[in-house]
Amino acid sequence: MTMKVPVYGLKGESKDTVQVAKAFGEPLRKDIIEKAVNIERANRRQPYGADPMAGQRSSAHYHGRRGIRDSMMNREMSRMKRIHNQGFLNMTARIIPGSVKGRRAHPPKTEKVLEKKMNKKELAKAVRSAISASAEKELVAGRGHMIGGAKHIPLILEDKLQELKKSREISDVLKSLGLEKELERISEKKLRAGKGKARGRKYRRKVGPLFVVKEDMGLVRASKNLQGVEAATVSGLSVEMLAPGGHPGRLVIWGKSAIEELDKKLK
């Protein structure tokens, strides 16, 4: 599929047109996109585990022989490791998983392999599919982006885009492209329902536009100060950036040279 797309300046004026063929010609495969995002998330996990000695630092033991002092056989009690000669704790069960202060039966272990793998061709297909989804107006709008005033989907800007160094400049560019409502949408944050509030994720925030450029000259850092806005280079692009949560159709704003670089990489 060959498509001619207008190129806009930073103030919203039409500058040029560019032909995009490989970048936006892939059929949509939601299943592969979702699989790739889940794998990317899994590979960010940090190994964790319990202390190997947790619950086992006790003098409790089991007396299993007959006819000796303190033998625990032929008595009406379960055969488990118990504390001996410790006053009020005498004959209290310890160490076993079912006891108070005992060890866990199956604790998490640091040696567990959390990494997941994906075929290279399958991953490349997921990236191409997520890119083509970003050029579908219905999918972008269906994902919640306010693109009613947008000049064009996909949005391609001149290469001066990658030279932006201030968050205010990025905000001005979005306004000039007719995305004032999108800026209002991503500025909102809502209090999360449930226990997540106590676990470092008190607020729910909207996902906003993604800027993709060939070379980072300050844009990535400048975008961090705008809630919901992200920026990346073509080489640093991931499926999760293009389809957060595994849902394709993110609003992507491309630099002109990024589109050309993308076509080279997708050969």
The residues that bridge with 233 in the sheet, in sequence order, are 213
Tell me: pLDDT of 256 over 80.
Answer: yes
Q: How big is the chain, counted in residues?
A: 267
Question: Kind of pairing, strands 210-213 and 230-233?
Answer: parallel
What's the average model confidence in pLDDT over 169-180?
Answer: 93
Question: What is the per-residue pLDDT across 98-149, written as a single tens digit (0 to 9) for each?
Answer: 999 999 999 999 999 999 999 999 999 999 999 999 999 999 999 999 998 8
Give residue 67's pLDDT band: very low, low, confident or very high (50, 70, 90): confident
C-alpha–C-alpha distance, residues 86 and 194, integer Å: 44
Give the H or E element holding residue 127: helix 120-133
Pairing type for strands 155-157 and 3-8 reads parallel
Nearest-angstrom CA–CA distance, 164 and 168: 9
Contacts of 131 (CB under 8 A, 6+ apart): 23, 24, 26, 242, 252, 262
Q: Do 164 and 174 meet the contact criterion of CB atoms below 8 Å apart?
A: no
What pLDDT was estimated at residue 2? Answer: 66
Please write the tens of the pLDDT for every residue from 13-42.
888 888 886 778 899 999 999 999 999 999
Read off φ and ψ for residue 126, nearest 5 degrees. -65, -40
Q: Are 212 and 254 in contact (CB under 8 A)?
A: yes
Contacts of 7 by beta carbon, 8 Å cutoff, 6+ apart: 14, 15, 16, 17, 18, 156, 157, 158, 256
Strand partners, 8: 14, 157
- Give the Å distances, CA to CA, from 18 to 170, 213, 256: 22, 15, 8
Domains and CATH numbers, the chain: 3-45+116-265 (3.40.1370.10), 61-66+77-113 (no CATH)
3-state SS string for 169-228: HHHHHHHHCCCHHHHHHHCCEEECCCHHHHCCCCEEECCCCEEEECCCCCHHHHHCCCCC
Q: What is the pLDDT of residues 156-169, one digit of tens each?
A: 999 899 999 999 99
Query: Which of 232, 253, 242, 266 lies closest to 133, judged by CA?
Result: 242
